[in-house]
Structure 1
Amino acid sequence: MAAEDIKDLVVIEKASVQEVFLHRPTLDGILEQIRTKAMSIAPDLSTATSRKSIASVAYNVAKAKTYLDDLAKERVAELKELPKQIDESRKHMRDFLDRLKDEVRQPLTDWEAEQERLAVEKKAAEEAAALALKVETDHEIALLMNREFDRVAEEKRQADLRAQREREAEIARQAEEKARREAEEKAEADRQAAMRRELEAKLAAERAKQERLAAEQRAKDAEARAVREKAEAEERARLAAIKAEEDRIKAAEEAATAERRRQEQEAEAKAAEERRRAADTAHRAKVNREALDDLMATGLTEDQAKAVVCAIVKKQVRHVAIQY
């Protein structure tokens, strides 16, 4: 057989490469075909043309080896890429569904946080109002006490105010600690749920492959719906935040008004007590002056009359008293 008749000893379609190298009888059949074609030439070493033909056939056999080996290497490289591509698709699927879960639940998460904040603010306001009422009552009672207990009452009022600040700080600390603890518990629960979801995703990988096309369409619809619902939730949250801020400002203004009213009442009570004391002092001075004038009218000197009045005021004269 001439060299040009066996120039291409074998040709394999790329799609059938894997079948050829995994099925040994098929590969052996191809090798036998190459052998048959290569050995079909009748060797004649007496002529240069025959010797050239033998060398050409041997060269074509070497080319066939290189050709088959390259096909096998290319297929192996392609197969090595498959696990990487599958892992990338799995990661894409997990990330997408995690984001979708967070987007779907975000309105509920925002609502729960807002409800907790409102409850904490309401409780703190009620406790502050009750404490303010108690402080005001204690202060009014203190104003009715005599001058000897004024100092003690003021110290008690300062102690009550310090206790109020400490209680309010403790309430705020406990609320912060509770919120932090609940956030940590929620994060741990979310982490455990994520681990369960990942395990379930691994087990469902084969099933997800057949459902991928339908799931992609549902995911697109869900994503569009989530975007719309998120925008609506953000608008509701914005309006709720505005309302909460307005309520907070109103409550702060009412508290400030109540504090001003209490301070005004305290100042009025103190002024009234000072006026009463001043009037009592003036009245006593007037009565003492009249008694002094009467004693001087009996012939006593002013110093003698003053001494008598002082003795009576100090209750040093039995059976005698000045009526104020």
Structure 2
Amino acid sequence: MSETTELSVIEIKPEQAPALYIPNGLESYFEHIKASVSEAPDLSTKKGRDRVASLAAQVGRSKTAVEKPGREYLKRLKEAVRPAEQEIKRFVDACDLLRDETRRPLTEWEAEQERIAAAKAAEEERKRIEAEQLAAAEVQRKQKEADHELALLLNIQHDRDAADKAAEAERQQRERDEQIAKQARIDAELKAKQEIEAAAQREAALKAQAEQAERDRIAALEKAKIDRIAAEQKAEQDRKDAAAKAEADRLAAAQQAEREKQEAIEAEQRKQQEAEQRRLAEEKRIKDEADRRAADVAHRKVIGTAVVNALTEHAGLTRDQAIETLKALMERKIPHTSIQY
């Protein structure tokens, strides 16, 4: 990522994901984006306002460029654990069903016991009401006997009136007793129903709590697995990066050593070549000098022989005299004379 006034295109490859989508793994990208929009354009100009809008849009595009591969990486992680999640859910559902089937006789027995208890309570209430009714009837009977005795002392009309009133009172009491018994039966049935419903609600609440606890446990296991996979992938990536860096450093060091070795060999070869060239040049110089001197000696000898022959032939000198004269000429002992070689 280059430091420019424009945000560079962010590209995250799939193989980079395990090392980036970890705690604070994206901090360098955020710092880069933050640094890239740190300028403060002049809002008093249209150009400055447009620049602010452009920077904000760039932040949004950069966010999407980092978020999209992250979502895809997370999707791959979820797909990787989905078979395990499905198998766990199948197992849990089967166990829940087996648990409910296993407990069903006990649940039905408990419900039956509650129903029996409610029926027993209703029966006891009925007996209580019947006892109260019998007591009331006994009171009425005694009252009727008293009324009868009194009626004997009263006239027939008074007896009729009393009988009618007693009958009406008995009818009303009977209606009240029936209403009380009916209400007691209804209350008992309602109470039994409420207790059964409460037991079912408690069972449902316990089941919901157990299911929620199981979901929380599965979620914790999934999170732990994802964290473990991410940590293992990061450790593996770090190990690969370290191995790659070590290998690269080793290759670089080997290449550097090979280059230095080759350079030393080439330098030694150049040194030997230069020494050989100097030796050959010196040998050539010596040979050329020797050849030159030999040629000069031969040339001087030819000229000297010619001079000696000329002196003996034209000057009437003996050979020894001619040689001595040549030596005098060579040593420049005779003024105004010289030998041209």
Q: Taking structure 2 as the reference length, what is the TM-score of the superposition? A: 0.34
Q: Taking structure 1 as the reference length, what is the TM-score of the superposition? A: 0.36
